[in-house]
Amino acid sequence: MRAFVTGATGFVGSHLVDALLEQDHQVVCLVRNPRKAERLFPHRAPDIVSGDLSDESALREGIDGADVVFHVAGITSARSRAEFFTVNTEATRSVLRAAHAAAPALERFVLVSSLSAAGPTERGRVLTETDPPAPVSAYGRSKLAAEQAVREAPQPWTIVRPPAVYGPRDVELRRVFTFARWGVAPVFGDGGQELTMIHVDDLVSALLAAVGSAQTAGGVYFATHPEVVTAKAFLEQVHQTVSEIRGKSPRAPTHVPLPHWLVRAFLAASWAGARLTGRATVLSPDKADEFLAPSWACSPAALEGSTGWKARIALAEGLEQTARWYRDQGYL
């Protein structure tokens, strides 16, 4: 298989490239920084096309002759709400146009979307693909708009919506591990928000399983581990894992409840400060509706039924692997 990958030097994309190369597929990556790609893939490197998502010439060059396109690139932080749509939605349309022009016989276009495109649910109820999407943030709406662009494309497609993804190379979750090192566990409200999560290795295997099944063409799927955990229990597990990795005796973390009004005020102030300095930030006011939602839990049943795939890595095992990587990188 000849695969073209966007976002190849990012967290999920780099793990996907590793897996494709390990299976002896031909891999072509669009990257803005070839030196970063060299550092990430020192032993066996993919073919590199220099450029970004706005460069349709580079996109066509990379996609030429591809069997599968994995569109992983996107942003979770932005300087404005409009920037989410520029990068997450309009750039998806650019990749689709390039795929139509350069690989008219493309076997599959795979979009890595997000649970945020579907929106939250209520406690005690996991989302399924039949639930109508109701995103609550500009990020989520931009990912849903990208999904709609893919649905309208002429080539066969599959959309995969992961929830929170964690594992080695992740920089977002690192903050949670840092708090755990300090013995502090900030929680939104009462900490009862329900979550499903997925280890990056399981997400990569889900993407490959989706490509390998004819049943997934034209389908939207959640890819997650089925375990549902509360935010409070998740933080306690992180704290225990960090303590064990550092050779410390596990003890209960100090929970710091963050009331809803404080979360909203903090996000508004952070957004205003970022706008003044021109910085991209994930801390936008509408992010409060994601942080404070009662549940971000979804079901993997549809993907399991169509492909036979199942997530293998339970949360405790995945957090230990992640913590060891943070420690080895000097973060803990």
The per-residue pLDDT for 31 is: 94
The per-residue pLDDT for 172 is: 85
Domains along the chain? 2-163+199-224+298-311 (3.40.50.720)
The per-residue pLDDT for 183 is: 84
pTM for the model stands at 0.94
Mean pLDDT, consecutive 10-residue stretches, the chain (332 aa), reads 97 97 96 90 91 94 97 90 94 97 96 98 97 96 98 96 96 87 85 96 98 96 98 93 84 81 83 76 81 96 98 96 93 84
Residues 226 and 208: their CA atoms lie apart, in Å, by: 19
Residues 221 and 208: their CA atoms lie apart, in Å, by: 13
Tokens of 184: 């502090």
- How do residues 59-100 score in pLDDT, each as one tens digit? 999 999 999 999 999 999 888 889 999 999 999 999 999 999
Alpha-carbon dihedral sign for residues 83, 121, 115, 153:
negative
Helix count and strand count (H, E) for the chain? 13, 14
- Are 242 and 178 in contact by the 8 Å Cβ rule? The answer is no
Task: State residue 236 phi and psi, 5-degree precision.
Answer: -65, -35
Tokens of 322: 């992640």
Task: State residue 258 phi and psi, 5-degree precision.
Answer: -110, 105
The per-residue pLDDT for 95 is: 97
| DSSP 8-state symbol, 286 | G
The per-residue pLDDT for 138 is: 93
- Are 315 and 227 in contact by the 8 Å Cβ rule? The answer is yes
Tokens of 84: 């989410």
Rg (CA), the chain: 20
- How do residues 132-146 score in pLDDT, each as one tens digit? 999 999 999 999 999
Residues 203 and 302: their CA atoms lie apart, in Å, by: 15
